[in-house]
C-alpha cells in the first residue's frame, strides 16, 4: 500500500492540494511495484525479437494439451514472479548494478555472498529473451552487464569473478567459474540480435572480446575440453558436463568464425559417448564432474563441493537441457540420441510421472535423492521434446513445471526450461535451419573389413552415435560404402569419426547397375584429415553408391565411423 500524507494551511488551499494529491495517488498506484526504469530508458532500443517468439523447431515437440497463448501466459507469469523475487539492484558499492540474488556453494572468503556469476548469466539470458513482455528488459540487461564487468575475475579480467558481494573489495577478488561466463557471453550475442549494438554497449564487440580473450584463452583446453575456471590448467582433463553448452559454442563459432568451437563440440560428444558406454549405458546419465582420459566420474567431494560429485547430482542435472538444445537449434543428431536415451530412461524410472523424479541418481539409475525439484525434473522434460513418442511426458511435465516455485536455483533453471519448451528461446543468429534428409540412414552398407562382431558396416548408417563401424586394425586401404537404393543427386557427406580416423581418404561415388559396384569416381579427396566431424561438399554427382575410401590412418588402429551421412536431392 502507498500512503500519501499532506499538511495544509487553510481550507481552500487544502482542498486544492488534496485534489492534486488524489490525482498523484492515482498515477502512483498505476506504476508497478517492481520497477527499474530510469531517466535514460526513453532511449532504450525497441526489441527486434519481442516476446513471445513462439518458434517451432523441426523435429521438436511442445506441450500439446495447451495452446501457444496459454504457454506464453504461463511463461510471462513465471517471469514476473521470478523477477520480483530474485532480481535486485541494491548494491551500495555499485549504483546501477543489477544481480540475481541466490545461494551459493563454496567459500565466499569472508564476504557475504549475494549471488554468483552463474546467476548473472542466467539473468542476462532471461532478460534478453523477455524483452517485449518487460519494457525494462534492456535496463535490466545493461545493469546485469555492468555488474558482470565490475566484478571481474582475479585471473582473467575479461571474465567474471564467481561471487557478487556488496563490497568494492569483492570486485576483482574472486576467480571465475566457467558456466557463468559461457552464459554471459552467449547473452551478449542474444542482446545484439535483440537490441542491436548501436547503443551504450556494443554487445557484439563485447561478446567477441569475451569469447576470444576470456573463454577461449582460459577455458578451452589443449585437448578441446572446457575446464572449470580461469584458475584451472589448459592441460586439465577435468570438466563439468553442465558447462557443455553446445548450442552456445555454435553461436560463438558463428560470431567469431573460429573453428575451435566445432572442435570442442565434437570432442565433448566423444567424451560423453566414451563415458556413457562404460558407466551409464542403460541410463545416459553423467556425473557432476568428469575427470581423466578415458573419462570417468570424479571422486566424491571433488573440489570440496559435496559428496555426490561422482553422481548425477545438482550440477549434472542441468545437462539434458544443454544437450537437447543442440539438436533443437542446430539439428545435430548426436544431441537427439543423448536426449532420447535420457528421456526413455527417466520415463521408465518415474512411471511417466514427473513428480516421481528424484533429486539425484547413481550412474545406473539408482536414486540417491528423495524428492522432485525443478532443476532435476525440468531439464528431463526438455529432453523429451526431441521425440514425438514422449508427448505425454512433455505434457505432464509442463503442468508440473508452470506452477512450481522453490528457490533461486530451481526456479531460475525452471524458467529457462519453460522458455525453451514454449519456443521462446530463439537462435541468436537466425531461424532454425531447414532439416535435410540423410539419404544413407538405415540403408544397406558394406565394408572391406570389420574389427569384429558389433562393428558391422551398418552401424555407421543407423543414426546412433553410440554404435560404430570399425575396420581391421593396422591395415590400409580400407573402405565402407552405402547403397542408396536408387540413383540420386549427391552433393555432400558428413563423417563422424571415432578416435580411429583417416588422414588421407577419398569420397567416391558409383552409379553401376546391379548389386556390386565396380566403377568408382572420385568426388572429393582429403589429405589432411584430423578426425572429429568432417562435412564435405562437392559438385553434385548422380550416384547410387557412396564410399569412404581410407588411404592413410591417423592412428595405429583401424578406421572407425560413428556415422556416415549422405546428402543431396531426394
Residues contacting residue 38 through CB under 8 Å, at least 6 positions apart: 96, 139
298: which DSSP letter? P
The full length of the chain comes to 570
Minimal CA–CA distance to 465: which of 388, 366, 560, 396? 560
What is d(CA 257, CA 208) in angstroms, rounded to the nearest whole number? 10
What is d(CA 307, CA 302) in angstroms, rounded to the nearest whole number? 8
* Burial of 407: CB neighbours in 10 Å, binned 0-12, 13-18, 19+: middle
What is d(CA 150, CA 117) in angstroms, rounded to the nearest whole number? 12
Based on DSSP, count helices (H) and strands (E) in the chain, helices before strands: 14, 13
Alpha-carbon distances of 87 from 83, 123, 330, rounded to whole Å: 5, 8, 31
Residues contacting residue 485 through CB under 8 Å, at least 6 positions apart: 443, 444, 544
What is the three-class DSSP state of 296?
A: strand
What is d(CA 227, CA 238) in angstroms, rounded to the nearest whole number? 6
Whose cell is 575456471? That residue is: 229
Alpha-carbon distances of 548 from 43, 267, 484, 532, rounded to whole Å: 57, 22, 14, 15
Reply yes or no on whether 179 is catalytic: yes
What is the three-class DSSP state of 183?
A: helix
Active-site residue, from 179, 243, 288, 326: 179
Minimal CA–CA distance to 484: which of 547, 540, 549? 547
Task: Compute the radius of gyration of the chain from its Cα atoms.
Answer: 27
What is d(CA 407, CA 411) in angstroms, rounded to the nearest whole number? 6
Asked if 37 and 406 touch (Cβ cutoff 8 Å), the reply is no
Q: Residue 532 has which C-alpha cell?
A: 572429429
What is d(CA 137, CA 126) in angstroms, rounded to the nearest whole number? 9
3-state secondary structure 21-53: HHHHHHHHHCCCCCCCCCHHHHHCCCCCCCCCC
Minimal CA–CA distance to 509: which of 468, 538, 532? 538
What is d(CA 568, CA 436) in angstroms, rounded to the nearest whole number? 8
Residues annotated as catalytic (active site), given as ranges: 179
Amino acid at each position: 500500500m502507498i500512503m500519501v500524507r499532506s499538511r495544509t494551511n487553510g481550507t481552500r488551499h487544502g482542498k486544492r492540494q488534496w485534489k492534486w494529491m488524489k490525482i498523484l495517488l492515482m498515477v502512483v498506484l498505476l506504476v508497478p511495484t517492481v520497477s527499474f526504469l530510469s531517466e535514460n530508458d526513453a532511449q532504450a532500443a525497441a526489441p527486434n525479437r519481442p516476446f513471445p517468439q513462439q518458434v517451432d523447431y523441426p523435429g521438436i515437440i511442445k506441450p500439446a494439451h495447451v495452446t501457444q497463448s496459454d504457454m506464453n501466459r504461463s511463461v510471462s507469469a513465471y517471469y514476473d514472479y521470478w523477477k520480483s523475487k530474485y532480481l535486485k539492484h541494491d548494491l551500495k558499492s555499485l549504483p546501477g548494478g543489477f544481480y540475481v540474488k541466490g545461494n551459493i556453494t563454496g567459500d565466499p572468503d569472508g564476504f557475504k555472498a549475494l549471488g554468483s556469476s552463474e546467476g548473472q548469466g542466467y539473468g542476462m539470458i532471461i532478460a534478453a529473451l523477455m524483452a517485449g513482455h518487460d519494457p525494462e528488459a534492456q535496463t535490466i540487461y545493461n545493469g546485469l552487464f555492468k555488474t558482470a564487468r565490475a566484478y571481474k575475475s582475479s585471473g582473467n579480467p575479461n571474465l567474471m569473478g564467481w561471487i557478487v558481494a556488496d563490497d568494492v573489495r569483492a570486485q576483482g577478488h574472486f576467480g571465475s567459474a566457467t558456466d557463468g561466463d559461457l552464459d554471459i557471453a552467449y547473452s551478449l550475442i542474444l542482446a545484439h540480435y535483440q537490441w542491436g549494438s548501436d547503443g551504450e554497449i556494443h554487445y557484439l564487440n563485447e561478446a567477441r572480446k569475451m569469447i576470444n580473450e576470456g573463454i577461449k584463452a582460459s577455458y578451452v583446453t589443449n585437448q578441446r575440453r572446457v575446464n572449470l575456471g580461469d584458475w584451472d590448467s589448459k592441460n586439465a582433463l577435468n570438466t563439468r558436463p553442465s558447462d557443455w553448452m553446445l548450442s552456445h559454442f555454435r553461436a560463438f563459432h558463428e560470431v567469431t568464425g573460429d573453428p575451435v568451437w566445432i572442435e570442442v563440440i565434437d570432442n565433448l560428444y566423444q567424451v560423453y559417448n566414451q563415458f556413457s558406454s562404460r558407466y551409464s549405458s542403460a541410463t545416459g546419465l553423467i556425473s557432476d564432474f568428469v575427470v581423466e582420459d578415458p573419462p570417468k566420474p570424479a571422486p566424491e567431494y571433488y573440489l570440496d563441493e559435496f559428496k555426490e560429485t561422482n553422481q548425477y547430482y545438482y550440477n549434472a542435472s542441468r545437462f539434458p537441457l544443454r544437450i537437447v538444445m543442440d539438436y533443437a537449434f542446430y539439428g545435430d543428431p548426436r544431441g537427439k540420441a543423448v536426449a532420447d536415451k535420457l528421456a526413455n530412461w527417466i520415463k521408465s524410472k518415474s512411471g511417466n510421472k514427473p513428480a516421481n523424479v528424484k533429486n539425484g541418481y547413481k550412474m545406473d539409475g539408482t536414486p540417491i535423492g528423495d524428492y522432485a525439484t525443478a532443476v532435476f525434473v525440468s531439464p528431463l522434460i526438455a529432453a523429451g521434446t526431441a521425440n514425438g513418442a514422449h508427448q505425454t511426458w512433455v505434457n505432464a511435465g509442463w503442468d508440473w513445471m508452470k506452477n512450481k516455485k522453490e528457490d533461486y536455483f530451481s526456479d531460475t533453471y525452471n524458467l529457462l526450461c519453460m522458455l525453451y519448451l514454449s519456443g521462446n528461446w530463439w537462435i541468436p543468429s537466425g531461424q532454425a535451419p531447414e532439416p535435410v534428409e540423410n539419404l544413407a540412414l538405415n540403408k544397406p552398407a558394406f565394408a572391406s573389413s570389420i574389427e569384429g562382431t558389433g562393428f558391422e558396416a551398418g552401424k555407421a548408417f543407423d543414426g546412433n552415435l553410440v554404435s560404430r563401424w570399425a575396420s581391421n586394425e593396422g591395415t590400409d586401404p580400407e573402405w565402407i560404402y552405402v547403397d542408396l537404393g536408387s540413383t540420386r543427386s549427391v552433393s555432400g557427406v558428413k563423417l563422424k569419426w571415432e578416435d580411429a580416423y583417416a588422414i588421407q581418404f577419398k569420397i567416391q561415388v558409383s552409379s553401376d547397375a546391379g548389386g556390386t559396384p565396380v566403377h568408382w569416381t572420385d568426388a572429393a579427396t582429403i589429405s589432411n584429415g584430423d578426425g572429429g566431424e568432417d562435412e564435405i561438399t562437392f559438385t553434385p554427382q548422380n550416384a547410387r553408391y557412396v564410399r569412404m575410401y581410407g588411404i592413410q590412418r591417423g592412428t595405429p588402429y583401424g578406421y572407425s565411423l560413428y556415422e556416415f551421412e549422405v546428402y543431396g536431392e531426394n
